[in-house]
Amino acid sequence: MTEKIFEKNLKAMDKWYPDFADMIRREEYEMDDTKVWIQKSLDGEIIFRIEVNGRKLYLGGRRNAKEPVEMWRERLGAIHKYAPVFLFGIGSGAYLKSMIHNSPKEANVVVYEPSMTIFLNVLKEIDLSEEIQDRPIAFIVEGLNDVEFIPVVKGILTLETLEFLVEEVHPNYKVAFPDSLKEKAEQLLKYAGDFFVGFHTRRLLQEHAAQNVLYNLPYVAEGYHTMQLAKVIPNQGAAVLVSAGPSLDKNIEELKRAKNHLFILAVDTAVKPLLKKGIIPDVFITLDGRKPLDLLDGAECLPVVSNTVARYELLDRQKGKKIFFFDGYQMPFDLYACNGKIFPKVAIGGSVACSGFSLLYKMGFETVILVGQDLAYTDNRSHADGTFKEKMPQEDTENMIRVKGNYQDSVPTLTNLKIYLEWFVSYIEGAKKQGKFRVINATEGGAYIEGTELMTLKNALDECMGAEIDFAALVEAMESDFTLKERDKAYDSLKEIPKQFEEMEKLARQLKSEYQKIEKAEKSGKGNYQMYQKFLKKIKKLTNQCYKYSGYQLVEETLGTAGYILQTEFFYEKEEMDGENEILQTANQGIVYSEVLIDCVKLMQDLSYQMLERAERLRIQKIADGAVRES
């Protein structure tokens, strides 16, 4: 049976990399000293017990091998279509199988295995033929083809795909092979450089996102949202979505004709070159929590459409209307829910232009004219002049992917831009199925978007020009969805937010106490099954109480993977653990997690009190401006 599985796996490899399979057949590898025993867990799964450098470990749960893999997959979440995925350690194959079955075929999966002995045992004992045939998995194995690690990394990891990067270490591999994993992780880090998206980088970004959401809550409580905007803007004619692609330089002057005849929505990066030409968009839209502020210099008086996680410093500068939409964060949603109101959504397609396009469709426009929507490096440039630089330089596009162009056979583009392109195609297709909807692509360059009509901006304006309308005045006169009483109620609900985090801190301290009780009982030798079940039941109850608070969403995102406690059996065998066992290990993990949770909720407390100070300053300013009157 073992030889049949071995040949079946190698035959599957022949489909994608026959040379690699032949190297294994010819035994062109160097074995390591790792010892491997094949065992079965109590739930019937094949697991590996290994000994390396005198340490004995399991690469699968002895009693329950399936559940930890399922928990891991759930924690990992959806894998993006173009994600580069690095799995450090093949183990007994279960994690790799789960990864393959729960990720798109376009995702590039790389498996690094530091032990040739483990890898051979996997090929002989675990049928991976279905997974191997599914896609070309890049296996990098020490003693076989480890020199290929960097070339493979360079082949699949780009600045455009870094934001989708997934890197996972198989349980117990950090203990078993610390030096090998450290070496490969450092190589990956060195190549990715400052753009490497590791745990600590993600955590910093998530903390910043939490700060943005909390600091923007007072603005959300004012009650201006995209449905209110749709009520005041006539949608019988066409709207123009202005993006910052390089082709904007070709027809930006023509846009002057559209002012006060067509509703003009600009993405944030396009605002600066528009203002320089004397073109004032009716509204601009922003999403990015790290958007450079200098891109919006001079736009302080413009109304802005924003998600709740946008950069709070940018919104602080804006004197015009701040119009929000729901982006998945519960706390802003609660400000509307407490008044029995709807907080409307706008699609997030990955770029601000995607959201702008969705907004115009939801506002009821039957015709949308795209300008500057290149989704490609037209003339080898990334953006229009006057955006990030006064004169945008030409870039080397030789190694970029190419897509069909509007006026060329093909144009160079990046992976993320291709993703946005596919989003536009899908969204347009869906919108047209719902009814009459016309999209004119007046970009005059860039990538072809299926479902659009190609037209010069001049011809598009000639055809679609409407009567003169002062859109800016209509936006300025837009009323809040909240009455003064409802607005006060929304502001009052802000005052309850710090209490959420205070209660969560209490729960986190109780969690720590319960784990400490487990630790104490186990060390004293007085622990028993019934006692531990009682403690774990209390822990589950405390955890569920945390989940009930809407603020826990921000805590959970800030914690990232640190918030995931793996209560599994990936521990040393008892005789090799210097007195520590699984229960004690779980208790120690729980104590560490609880301490991190305490620190996080205290951070959120500080941010929420700062948010209240901001809210009070805003109310005082409103009163000074005459915007708030006694009812």
Contact of 18 with 4, CB cutoff 8 Å: no
DSSP for residue 295:
G
What is the Cα–Cα distance from 598 to 42, expressed in whole angstroms?
37
CA dist 274 and 294 (Å) reads 14
Query: What is the reported pLDDT for 451?
Result: 96
Mean per-residue pLDDT pooled into runs of 10, the chain (631 residues)? 82 89 92 93 89 88 82 82 88 90 88 94 92 87 91 76 80 88 79 44 54 95 96 94 96 95 97 96 92 92 95 94 94 95 86 94 96 96 94 92 94 90 92 93 96 97 94 95 95 95 96 91 83 86 90 83 33 34 77 88 94 90 62 43
pLDDT of residue 64: 82
Amino acid at 547: Y
Under a CB-based contact definition with an 8 Å cutoff, are residues 452 and 369 in contact?
no
In the chain, what are the domain boundaries?
A: 2-196, 224-487, 495-624
One-letter amino acid at 195 equals F
How far is it, in rounded angstroms, from Cα 359 to Cα 353?
10
Residue 579 burial (CB < 10 Å; 0-12/13-18/19+)?
exposed
**Residue 190 pLDDT:** 64
Q: Give the Cα separation of 211 and 200 in Å (integer).
A: 17
- Cβ-contact 142, 180 below 8 angstroms: yes
Backbone phi, then psi, for 405, in 5-degree steps? -100, 165
pTM: predicted TM-score of the whole model, two decimal places: 0.67
| Chain segment 170-228, per-residue pLDDT in tens | 888 888 898 898 888 778 766 765 343 333 334 433 447 899 999 999 999 999 999 99
E strands in 433-525:
438-441, 453-454
Residue spans of alpha helices (H) in 221-305: 226-232, 248-251, 271-276
Radius of gyration in angstroms for the set of CA atoms belonging to the chain, rounded to a whole number: 28
At residue 196, the pLDDT reads: 37
Can you give the pLDDT at residue 562?
41
pLDDT tens by residue, 308-364: 999 999 999 999 999 999 988 999 999 999 999 999 999 877 789 999 999 999 999
**Residue-wise pLDDT tens digits, 49-67:** 999 988 898 888 777 888 8
Predicted local distance difference test score (pLDDT) of residue 172: 87
Measured at the alpha carbon of residue 436, what is the angle toward residues 430 and 437, in degrees to the nearest 5? 65
Are 385 and 391 a contacting pair, CB within 8 Å?
Answer: yes
Q: Are the C-beta atoms of 347 and 340 separated by less than 8 Å?
A: no
